[in-house]
Structure 1
Amino acid sequence: MRSTPAAETFPAQTPAASQVFTTVLSHGPLTRLDAGRRAGLSPAAVTKAVRPLLEAGYLVEGADEEARPALGRPAGLVRVNGERALFIGVKVTGDELIAVLTDLCCRIRLARRTPLPDRSVRKVLASVAGLVHELLVHAAESGAPVLGLGIAVSGDVDRAEGVVRYSPFLEWRDIPLAELAAMAGGLPVTVDNDVRALTVAEQWFGAGAGLSDFAVVTVGAGIGCGLVVHGQVVAGAHGVAGEIGHVVIDPAGPSCHCGNRGCVEAIAGDAAIVTRIREVTGRHVADSAEAVALARQGVPGAREVYARAGEAIGRGIATVANLLGPERVIISGEGLAAYDLFAGQIREAFTAAAFGSAAQCDVQTRPLPFEEWARGAAAAAIQSFITSTPRSGQG
């Protein structure tokens, strides 16, 4: 990695400015009046917030180029100037790094992948540095500054401190990743849980846009959950809010790497499904793709494993609905490749376990490639940039 020429800060470090900016980012172009209504701010507060953002080029007057020919659009629109700044997002998986370069509107300009044969912190940082350097070279051609790097990691991540407390798939404990990555390159770094980062992107640009209360549940190697409550992505006092993967639904169930038994993840995570299918079929099953193939072929016992996984996921989602009452739950993750094998059980278990009107929650699926997870990391970096003064090593 290499540093940008100078650290740049968001021109108006106030809650109102951040609120107006994110409102225009998610819903713009907007008139100042509409921005104020959506943000719950007075016209005077909006005017005060918008002025420095216009002067610094973060907001511009007028609609997007493609919208200008439309008739009847209101005058006085403001929108985010996506070309004003660039950000980098990196998603760290157990065996691969995915990196994207985005503009200020979190539109992907360039995406890169590299395998990760060694999960040691030193090797991962070196690989991240290589990807970031490549993206910075491309960014230099545009002339726009790169103002932040987001890194998304599964597990217990303390975003405020930039520390990975525990990542089971990487086998990391108490790694000051933001500090180490910033020392290596000089860019302000935000480190966040991968599902929470994805939730930020979904809140701003995806299936959660415009909703004040929703959840993102991811199925695959792990079972994750990102929560938005009253318009805010929730991490909780200890940074582990939304860990439905470790909600115990069967105390006599299989052991989980967290130390408990019968967690949703211990039943419905990819590794758990593969292990169980090996046990019930007596066959050597190398990975999830082979497990899915056996179930679709009707091999005795295989479909029942997926049915049990679907029931566990459905009960986990019902727990979220009962506790928080979200308007929508978005199911995503690489595990959706097998969705046809357990979709019915997810719905049945959710309906049975959801209390009263919680069952009215809109449960929908949204397949997303890993580039979108990296985009979520970039969104987390953008969020840090517009809500706090960037500091090397801090998220």
Structure 2
Amino acid sequence: MRHVIALDVGGTGIKAALVGTEAAPSGSSPGAPARPPVLLHEARRPTGRERGPEAVIGTILDFAAELRELGARKYGAPAAAAGVAVPGIVDEITGTAVYAANLGWRDVPLRRLLSERLDGVPVALGHDVRTGGLAEGRIGAGKGTDRFVFLPLGTGIAAAIGIGGRIEAGAHGSAGEIGHIVVRPEGPECGCGRRGCLETLASAAAVGRAWAAACGDPDATAADAAKAVESGDPAAAAVWQEAVDALADGLVTCLTLLDPRTLIIGGGLAEAGDTLFAPLREAVRQRVTFQPLPSIVPAALGDAAGCLGAGLLARDLLSTEVTA
């Protein structure tokens, strides 16, 4: 069976898959897969960032090589292409992982390194959030929507901007960094050097920190905060509402600039369901003036979005080969 390798590299773990594929039929446009991806094999392993950036690169290359060998044994031929999603600043044109603070690397020619390790197969490199947005746009909550924003709320906050079937990368590979919109100028200090950035207040990590401080349990998480809100805890409700209000302020800025039809909210915080979505929709509704209200919906693909998107990037390489 023809297949591709997909890798989604995170700060703590790497998700990987072998994805079944058929090249897009002749005459179809690049980026239009013949059918939704089929996950033939899935695997995970730690990123191992505590061992340093060179070790992380080695782990990625080794993992990809193992998947190539597995695919060749099980399906009669090695993978036809590979796609990899990584965090940070990514130059998708040159295939360079420009900068990733949580992995400690700069200007890593990851596409070239992977292609060499995989005996010359074509490799696509993408930003983790934009790659997840690609999957949500094609086969997830944004399917059939001409303009959407995918916003996973995890350790940080970034966005994928979907316009006309493609994901906007920007002139310098950093489009969608909504987490660094300042919503509270006197707020917490952000890793970027400013204060009151959206991700310091409304990411899952930020909510976890705020609830840990409020409840006195240093191990408390955003999921714990959501459970406390659902149980009627007033302190948790206050922490939660502060995050929702900050997120709504950031989203209204996003609506004003981008005018999406749909906002797709994913990541750990979205797992709270209506505990998040009901107050968030109301907070956004209260803030808009002239801006049309978009649909605000949960992501459909969960933590598989990045890996599925990486598979789609690899499939697009094959589609381009057919239609070139």
Which residue in 2 is equivalent to 1:183?
Answer: 116
- What stretches of structure 1 move > 6 A for 4+ residues in a row? none
Which residue in 2 is equivalent to 1:116?
Answer: 47
In 1, the alpha carbon distance for the partners of 2:3 and 2:126 equals 19
> In 2 relative to 1, CA 288–94 (structure 1 residues): closer, same or farther, beyond 3 Å?
farther
1:113 CA drift (Å) = 0.8
Residue pairs, 1:73-92, within 5 angstroms: 83=1, 85-92=2-9
1:371 CA drift (Å) = 2.7
Which residue in 1 is equivalent to 2:215?
Answer: 281
Which residue in 2 is equivalent to 1:155?
Answer: 88
In 2, the alpha carbon distance for the partners of 1:233 and 1:190 equals 14
From 233, 242, 246, the counterpart of 1:308: 242
1:195 CA drift (Å) = 1.3
What residue ranges of structure 1 are gaps of 5+ in the alignment? Answer: 1-82, 390-395
Give the partner amino acid of 1:160. I
CA offsets 1:20-54 (integer angstroms, 9 cap, x no match): xxxxxxxxxxxxxxxxxxxxxxxxxxxxxxxxxxx
Structure 1 residues 141-150 or 263-272, which shifts more?
141-150
Give the partner amino acid of 1:116. T
What residue ranges of structure 2 are gaps of 5+ in the alignment? Answer: 22-34
From 131, 140, 143, the counterpart of 2:63: 131
> In 2 relative to 1, CA 144–350 (structure 1 residues): closer, same or farther, beyond 3 Å?
farther
Structure 1 residues 175-184 or 156-165, which shifts more?
175-184
Q: Does the alignment pair 1:265 with 2:206?
A: no
Tell me, yes or no, if the aligned pair for 1:311 and 1:349 is still in contact at 8 Å. Answer: yes
**Higher RCO (C-alpha under 8 Å, 6+ residues apart):** 2
Structure 1 residues 296-305 or 261-270, which shifts more?
296-305
Which residue in 1 is equivalent to 2:32?
Answer: none
In 1, the alpha carbon distance for the partners of 2:241 and 2:268 equals 17
Which residue in 1 is equivalent to 2:253?
Answer: 319
Which residue in 2 is equivalent to 1:223?
Answer: 157
> In 2 relative to 1, CA 306–368 (structure 1 residues): closer, same or farther, beyond 3 Å?
farther
Which residue in 2 is equivalent to 1:353?
Answer: 287
In 2, the alpha carbon distance for the partners of 1:171 and 1:358 equals 41
Tell me, yes or no, if the aligned pair for 1:91 and 1:152 is still in contact at 8 Å. Answer: yes
Identity %: 32
Q: CA RMSD in A?
A: 2.4
In 2, the alpha carbon distance for the partners of 1:315 and 1:384 equals 38
Give the partner amino acid of 1:91. D
Helix, strand or coil at the partner of 1:147: coil
Give 1 or 2 for the bigger CA radius of gyration.
1
Give the partner amino acid of 1:250. R
Which residue in 1 is equivalent to 2:106?
Answer: 173
